[in-house]
Structures are given as C-alpha cells and as structure tokens.
Amino acid sequence: MPTTTRAERATRCDAFLVTLPTEQQEVYKDILTMYVSSGIDALEKREVLRVKQFADKHGSVVEIVRKMGGNEQFFNTIDHLKEIIYRD
C-alpha cells in the first residue's frame, strides 16, 4: 500500500472546510498548507498563528481565534481536521 502524502491527507479536509464561513475556510486552509510543508506541528502548536506571513494575512492570534469562534471552537475544529487527516 503506497504511503499517503501530507498533501493528499490535507485534501481530505476539503469537504468539511466548505461547510465553514469563508473567512474561517481561509485560515484553516492556510494552516493545512503549513501542515503540508512543515508537518503536524502546524496543527498541534498554536505558535503557527504567530508566523509572520500568517499573522500579516490573518491578524494577531487573538484576532484569528476570535474569527474562529473562540478558543474552544478553534481547537475543536483543529482536532476535527486531525481526525480527518489521519483517518484511514
């Protein structure tokens, strides 16, 4: 059985992402892009939101989390993305 790439895993999230408001889709798509290039830390560490190009595009960590519906909702969505990504 061939190994599934991170890019292939990230595309598994597309159907879920379209159910979110556009602004949230953009943030989560960018997080997934960082996951593809950097690995799981992009999904597990909130510091990814502090990366300059990410912050320049989406705002401060507080602004981003607020757009995502708050801390709990943000992390629930990240957990759901991880479940989709690693579902076999």
Query: CA of 37: how far to CAs of 41, 42, 57, 70, in Å?
Result: 10, 9, 18, 26
Total residues belonging to the chain: 88
pLDDT at 3: 85
pLDDT in tens, the chain (88 residues): 678 999 999 999 999 999 999 999 999 999 999 999 999 988 988 888 898 988 999 999 999 999 999 999 999 999 999 999 998 7
Task: Give me 24's structure tokens.
Answer: 């949230």
For residues 14 and 53, what is the distance between their CA atoms, to the nearest angstrom? 22
| Res 88: pLDDT | 76
Half-sphere exposure of 66 (CA within 13 A, CB side): 6
Six-digit token string for 53:
């190009």
Round to whole Å and give the CA distance between 50 and 54.
7
Residue 2: what pLDDT?
Answer: 76
